[in-house]
Amino acid sequence: MSGGKLAIHGGTPVRSRYLPYGRQLIDEEDIQSVIQVLQSDFLTTGPAIEQFEAEIASYTGAKYAVAFTSGTAALHGACYAAGIGAGDEVITSPMTFAASANCILYQGATPVFADIDPRTYNLDPKRLAEKITSKTKAIIPVHFTGQPAELDEMITIARELNLVVIEDAAHALGAKYKHSSIGSIGDMTMFSFHPVKHITTGEGGLITTNNRLYYEKLRQFRSHGITRDPEHMLENHGPWYYEMQFLGYNYRLTDIQAALGISQLKKIEHFINLRKKYAAMYNEAFRHSDKIQIPYQSTESESSWHLYIIALHLEKLKGSRKEIFEALLKENIGVNVHYIPVHLLPYYQDLGYKRGICPNAEQLYNRMITLPLFQGMSEQDVQDVIRAVNKVLDHYSK
């Protein structure tokens, strides 16, 4: 993809080739890991799944892990395991991908959006507390961009009211909160392995938990609600026998995907260190700018830096966010926006959610741009982004 010449500036773009905001990094070791599975007896429901789950559990410090076809499927499974159903309410952040709320709807429950902290962009515990009712069943905090939410306050609220905490850590593999690894803290934690995430299985997701009951429900839910465990069956007709005990789904990850995940996980610390390095380069380049706000980082947590988001000070710029965004694209910088607040999406508007219910999230959305950040970048790529941002901001300065 090429943006061509930047008409408002003239001349050539900063980059000759398009730089995406995110992309997987696959090496020969990854490829060989997949080939080995393709040459084995099991392409699905085989040993690679159990190995991948065990290695993620070990990495995060959780007792159990259950792999799914996607992060969305994993969230759906977590909502089922938590007993969420019709008449229940679940509080989550509006500043996230739609899946964080859709999983609640899948179970017939009602998503309730609490506003974000304007510094961290994560769910604000004070706004969360204001949304709790007698119907509240669970909380789904989102570790937005890789920075952990304020879990202590949320878990304290949850324990007092017997609520389930399901962490959406799609952005936060390798992140830490008060020296504890994300994945070992809440009742259940979801990770995503989409290609733009820290490691990839192509598509894929996973739940970690320390609760044996949740673990068993998750495993059964991802496979049609079927069990072959004699200890859990009502009858046993013989070695072939199985029981479908509730309506589950086919959410099974393949061994092909798990093999890629196992290989990618060996490089996770290197990948995260690169992301941290590139984020620090952005911070240093933009920290004194009066035209953009760089991401705030809490001292209580350690981000794994899935996204790098700048917020424009539009009052100091003569262009709109759209104009600045399009100008960066013409510089061949693959910017993006994460995210449109979920309650503003047409489907949720049709459900009756109103504009104005989460003003901090809505204001942030109008100002934010996501810059490229992924382990396959080079330092020169980062410098190109910095040059392009400065070039465009200078042009649109008042």
User: Which is catalytic among the residues 5, 63, 176, 197?
Assistant: 197
Asked if 199 and 214 touch (Cβ cutoff 8 Å), the reply is no
Q: Residue 382 burial (CB < 10 Å; 0-12/13-18/19+)?
A: buried
Within the chain, all domains assigned CATH 3.40.640.10 are found at: 28-265
Q: With a cut of 50, say whether residue 5 has pLDDT above it.
A: no
Taking the C-alpha atoms of residue 153 and residue 157, their distance in angstroms, rounded to an integer, is 6
- What would the mean pLDDT of 308-330 be, rounded to a whole number? 97
- What would the mean pLDDT of 285-310 be, rounded to a whole number? 97
Report residue 11's pLDDT band, with 50, 70 and 90 as the boundaries: confident
Q: With a cut of 50, say whether residue 2 has pLDDT above it.
A: no
Please write the tens of the pLDDT for every residue from 39-48. 999 999 999 9
The highest-level CATH class for domain 268-396 is alpha beta
Q: What is the pLDDT of residue 245?
A: 97
Q: With a cut of 60, say whether residue 162 has pLDDT above it.
A: yes
Within the chain, all domains assigned CATH 3.90.1150.10 are found at: 268-396
Report residue 126's pLDDT band, with 50, 70 and 90 as the boundaries: very high
Q: What is the pLDDT of residue 9?
A: 56
Active site residue 197: yes
Rounded to two decimals, what is the model's pTM? Answer: 0.96
Taking the C-alpha atoms of residue 197 and residue 338, their distance in angstroms, rounded to an integer, is 14
Q: With a cut of 60, say whether residue 3 has pLDDT above it.
A: no
Please write the tens of the pLDDT for every residue from 146-155. 999 999 999 9
- What would the mean pLDDT of 85-108 be, rounded to a whole number? 98
- What would the mean pLDDT of 11-31 be, rounded to a whole number? 96
> What's the Cα-to-Cα distance from 181 to each of 60, 196, 268, rounded to whole Å?
6, 21, 14
Taking the C-alpha atoms of residue 284 and residue 386, their distance in angstroms, rounded to an integer, is 10
The highest-level CATH class for domain 28-265 is alpha beta
Q: Residues near 308 by Cβ (< 8 Å), separated by ≥ 6?
A: 145, 278, 279, 282, 295, 370, 371, 372, 373
Report residue 8's pLDDT band, with 50, 70 and 90 as the boundaries: low
Q: With a cut of 60, say whether residue 7 has pLDDT above it.
A: no
| Three-state SS at 301 | strand
Q: With a cut of 70, say whether residue 237 has pLDDT above it.
A: yes
